[in-house]
Structure 1
């Protein structure tokens, strides 16, 4: 594996949509492309960042502590899909679902530092309590929900919360998200990254399990992974 110089501009210095930093055992992926809407290029850039971290993890001869934090910028973590791109570029959905699957079963603990509006399919979530909300607004667009995305939500939420999220497009405040166990920690905006690092450092030693850590995730999320692997050509007529 070639040596990586951090901070790393992704996908390139000329097209700088996100930056990957390293702080000891922690890798921090800072998303800063406008409102971080998902396009094919944005998803591929995230997967490239994941591959960089995974290559470093796999190159270690001895078990090591490691965790990945993702965060946004300003008041937005991500505003979801770029709908115009999703509609105009048919292969997009397969790339997006692959990115979700890679993140869900990533080889080390993952923490989302939610600085604003978001929903994140990672292991642990820290959300600011002074602004921002979580929601899925497909019912208001209107748009159907691919089986993999629905399966991910269904796994992360209790039945009533899942119903309110999908059928009502409910916007969950930080307090509601904590009460409904959608997030693990809430705090003022200026403390989100510190709390995320604290949580990441707490669980980073679990990466010492090596390949077993990923295997445990793959088994835990086996039904979600299966749904996220549904070929897009089977989804297209339903979208």
Structure 2
């Protein structure tokens, strides 16, 4: 489901489960991988990528529905906790976006410090407006904080799909590059900042993103 490898001072976390939706098991394995990185001791940075056509296609709605109303909120909180962990991780994080990043997958993208996206295929999109689904306040706040406000408005209100070049122009990603260069570009950025890794980075990020973290326990709006 996931693969974690270390190349010098860069860990590469690869999501490898088809559409890479956030199932209970996917969240568990991601947390285990992040635990391993934190326990490594020596300074390092993190690159996250997917496989095939998908970076991540977001929530596993079938699993969420099957969980029932009470456990569904536990499921959603588990996903938000994973996103918050990336947002405040004590190393520099770089998303190497190889394909589609939809919904919670788009949130995973913006939770990284830096983002590199494939320029020829794959979209960034928050499709909840077309699915008639409310966004959890955490999801709204992370977009408001991490993206330009006018872009956040378009992302949430219209559900626009951004290809790599458009995403770079809008400030959603930092670089749009050829497929063959996505991971290598991300690793280059990560390696250049790997020495910054430190528990104090978590403290800085936690305070920087306090407004987002403060609403993680809020109920879904109705």
Q: Distance in 1 between matches of 2:211 and 2:117?
A: 27
Query: Which runs of 5 or more residues in structure 1 are unaligned?
Result: 1-16, 58-63
Q: Distance in 1 between matches of 2:202 and 2:116?
A: 22
Contact map agreement 2:13 2:49 (CA 8 A) in 1 = yes
Question: Is 1:181 the equivalent of 2:164?
Answer: no
Residues 117-138 of structure 1: per-residue CA shift (max 9 Å, x gap) = 1121211100010111100000
Correspondence for 1:70: 48
Structure showing greater Rg: 1
Correspondence for 2:76: 93
Mapping 1:1-239, distance limit 5 Å: 17-57=1-41, 64-89=42-67, 90=72, 91-118=74-101, 119=106, 120=109, 121-207=111-197, 210-228=198-216, 230=217, 234-235=219-220, 238=221
**Structure 1 stretches of 4+ moved >6 Å:** none
Q: Distance in 2 between matches of 1:157 and 1:196?
A: 19
Q: Give the count of matched residue pairs.
A: 210
Deviation at 1:74, TM superposition (A): 1.1
Q: Distance in 2 between matches of 1:77 and 1:25?
A: 23
Residues 46-65 of structure 1: per-residue CA shift (max 9 Å, x gap) = 111101111113xxxxxx43
Deviation at 1:86, TM superposition (A): 1.9
Query: Which runs of 5 or more residues in structure 2 are unaligned?
Result: none
Q: Distance in 2 between matches of 1:159 and 1:104?
A: 19
Q: Distance in 2 between matches of 1:31 and 1:102?
A: 16
Deviation at 1:88, TM superposition (A): 2.6
* SS state at 1:33 partner: coil
* SS state at 1:19 partner: strand
Deviation at 1:184, TM superposition (A): 0.9
Residues 64-99 of structure 1: per-residue CA shift (max 9 Å, x gap) = 431011110112111111111122322201111111
Deviation at 1:219, TM superposition (A): 0.9
